[in-house]
Amino acid sequence: MQNVFKIIYWLSILFIVYWIIEPICSICISFFITIEISDEFFTSIYSKTRLYGVPVAILLTLCNTVQKKDNFDNIFIKTVLTLCVSFFSIILLTIVTVFGDLCKWTTNEILFENVQHQSTKIVRRSLGCGAFDSSPDILQIVQITNITSFLVCISDIDTNVIDKNKWKKPLNVRKHNIINHENIP
């Protein structure tokens, strides 16, 4: 049984370390390449896993920190401190989740499609923050390349210098949300 508690403890530590290192790595990688999650469902699961998983993982570290040989005072202090850290993480992650998702990129129009790779597109998109920001949206023309079914690579592109033989105007020039693959009215 003690080995099971150690496994739970170390898995919890790995989970916590991942959620600490992942944002740092994302920021470092974003200096070289911009990768975004393109599937809203996956983004939601990702956020919920972080929001609920970290506090639970912190609580699960009690599996190895509380020992049989500890007296009541040590057990009480370890338990209360772990509960406080878990509660603090819930508050912090709730703030990060709520305020971190206020602004969102929306694809306004597909300008060009790659002739060889239909999933690579040049689009006009805007960053809006809804009711929390009265300034105009930030507009951007970028190339969106699918990496996987749920990850896309975003890169700046100048439409004045693209090779017109490699890019074509889309047949349906209606506004299109490329992230959710649905038409915008």
Residue-wise pLDDT for 152-172, tens only, equals 999 999 888 888 889 998 876
- Cβ neighbour number for residue 173 with a 10 Å cutoff: 10
Q: Based on the domain organization, do 83 and 112 belong to the same domain?
A: no
Confidence of residue 13 (pLDDT cuts 50, 70, 90): very high
Q: Based on the domain organization, do 86 and 159 belong to the same domain?
A: no
Sign of CA dihedral 156, 159, 160, 162: positive
Question: Is 7 inside any structural domain?
Answer: yes
Domain limit, last residue, from 100, 119, 151: 100
Name the DSSP letter for residue 137: P
Total tally of structural domains belonging to the chain: 2
Q: Based on the domain organization, do 37 and 59 belong to the same domain?
A: yes
Give the CA count within 13 Å in the CB-facing half-sphere of 82: 19
Q: For 30-63, what is each residue's pLDDT tens digit? A: 788 888 888 888 888 888 888 899 999 999 998 8
Q: Based on the domain organization, do 96 and 17 belong to the same domain?
A: yes
Domain limit, last residue, from 72, 100, 128: 100
Q: Based on the domain organization, do 133 and 83 belong to the same domain?
A: no
Question: Is 44 inside any structural domain?
Answer: yes
Question: Is 89 inside any structural domain?
Answer: yes
Question: Is 184 inside any structural domain?
Answer: no
CA distance 141 to 94: 32
Strands 138-146 and 121-128: antiparallel
Strands (E), the chain: 34-37, 104-114, 121-128, 138-146, 151-156, 167-168, 176-177, 182-183
Q: Based on the domain organization, do 45 and 122 belong to the same domain?
A: no
Q: Based on the domain organization, do 117 and 131 belong to the same domain?
A: yes
Note whether 79 and 62 are within 8 A (CB). yes
Q: Based on the domain organization, do 48 and 25 belong to the same domain?
A: yes
Q: Based on the domain organization, do 63 and 80 belong to the same domain?
A: yes
Q: Based on the domain organization, do 80 and 6 belong to the same domain?
A: yes
Task: Indicate the average pLDDT of the chain.
Answer: 84
Q: For 48-102, what is each residue's pLDDT tens digit? A: 888 899 999 999 998 888 888 888 998 899 999 999 999 999 999 888 878 777 7
Q: Based on the domain organization, do 130 and 85 belong to the same domain?
A: no
Question: Is 185 inside any structural domain?
Answer: no
Note whether 86 and 112 are within 8 A (CB). no
Q: Can you give the residue range of the structural domain that contains 89?
A: 2-100
Q: Based on the domain organization, do 68 and 148 belong to the same domain?
A: no
CA–chain centroid gap for 12, Å, is 21
